[in-house]
């Protein structure tokens, strides 16, 4: 039997092809085996985000708390919740920052016009600048802010100090993150689009 020439181009190509097929199979197998765990982790993280928008953080039992607090998930994506005996409406948000997508959740009090809590996150904003929207101090600054004016227009926003629209009360905006103008503008646009698009749902929740 002829000896296999391990120095030939044919041998190299065949060897590399077999190796690639084996590695691809192993990667596919591992990915398939881990998918249920990955999906469960994604679902759990989403619940943590929703609960954070209700000022419920650092929980020992996320699943249990979510089941207790979230009373109804509505077809439009909003969620009815009860925290400390008070009804809240959680509204999802999506937008765009400087380098990628932004998203979050904001909860509204039963009056339909003030913020109870909020949560924001991002795909790839700059660390120490735009990425700070994911920090609790920024999210907590929205608590109690007024969402709509008397005509029902969404006015809650994010502005640089001294740059808020003339006549807008401090009750209806928060200060932008220093050095992160474009990310802050993205959060501002996301919030106003969210509350404009969900005005009917919020009015219905507030029985207006």
The pLDDT assigned to 6 comes to 67
Distance separating alpha carbons of residues 84 and 121, to the nearest angstrom: 26
Distance separating alpha carbons of residues 118 and 18, to the nearest angstrom: 52
Distance separating alpha carbons of residues 190 and 75, to the nearest angstrom: 20
The pLDDT assigned to 29 comes to 78
Token representation of residue 62: 């996320």
Give residue-wise pLDDT tens across range 119-151. Answer: 999 999 999 999 999 999 999 999 999 999 999
The pLDDT assigned to 2 comes to 55
The pLDDT assigned to 36 comes to 74
The pLDDT assigned to 37 comes to 72
pLDDT band at 92 (very low <50, low <70, confident <90, very high): very high
Domain positions in the chain are 51-205
> Which of 26-35, 111-120, 198-207 is the least confident region?
26-35
Alpha-carbon torsion, ordered 36, 40, 42, 48, to 10 deg? 180
Q: Flag whether pLDDT at 116 surpasses 70.
A: yes
Give residue-wise pLDDT tens across range 14-65. Answer: 878 888 888 888 888 787 777 777 777 788 999 999 999 999 999 999 999 9
Mean pLDDT of all residues in 101-126 = 97
| Residue 20 CA: distances (Å) to CA of 4, 15, 23, 190 | 21, 9, 5, 44
Give residue-wise pLDDT tens across range 139-194. Answer: 999 999 999 999 999 999 999 988 999 989 999 999 999 999 999 999 999 999 99
Say what the pTM is: 0.81
Distance separating alpha carbons of residues 172 and 74, to the nearest angstrom: 27
């Amino acid at each position: 039997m002829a000896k296999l020439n391990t120095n030939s181009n044919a041998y190299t190509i065949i060897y590399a092809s077999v190796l690639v097929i084996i590695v691809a199979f192993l990667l596919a197998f591992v990915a398939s085996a881990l998918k249920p765990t990955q999906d469960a982790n994604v679902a759990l993280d989403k619940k943590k985000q929703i609960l954070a928008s209700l000022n419920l953080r650092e929980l020992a039992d996320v699943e249990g708390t979510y089941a207790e607090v979230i009373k109804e998930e509505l077809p439009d994506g909003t969620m009815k919740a009860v925290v400390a005996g008070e009804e809240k409406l959680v509204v999802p948000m999506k937008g765009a920052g400087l380098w990628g997508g932004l998203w979050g959740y904001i909860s509204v009090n039963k009056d339909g016009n003030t913020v109870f809590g909020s949560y924001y996150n991002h795909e790839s904003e700059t660390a120490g600048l735009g990425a700070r929207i994911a920090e609790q101090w920024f999210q907590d600054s929205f608590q109690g802010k007024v969402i709509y004016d008397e005509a029902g227009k969404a006015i809650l926003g994010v502005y640089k100090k001294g740059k808020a629209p003339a006549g807008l009360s401090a009750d209806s905006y928060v200060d932008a993150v220093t050095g992160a103008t474009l990310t802050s503008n993205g959060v501002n646009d996301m919030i106003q689009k969210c509350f404009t698009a969900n005005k009917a749902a919020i009015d219905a929740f507030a029985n207006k």
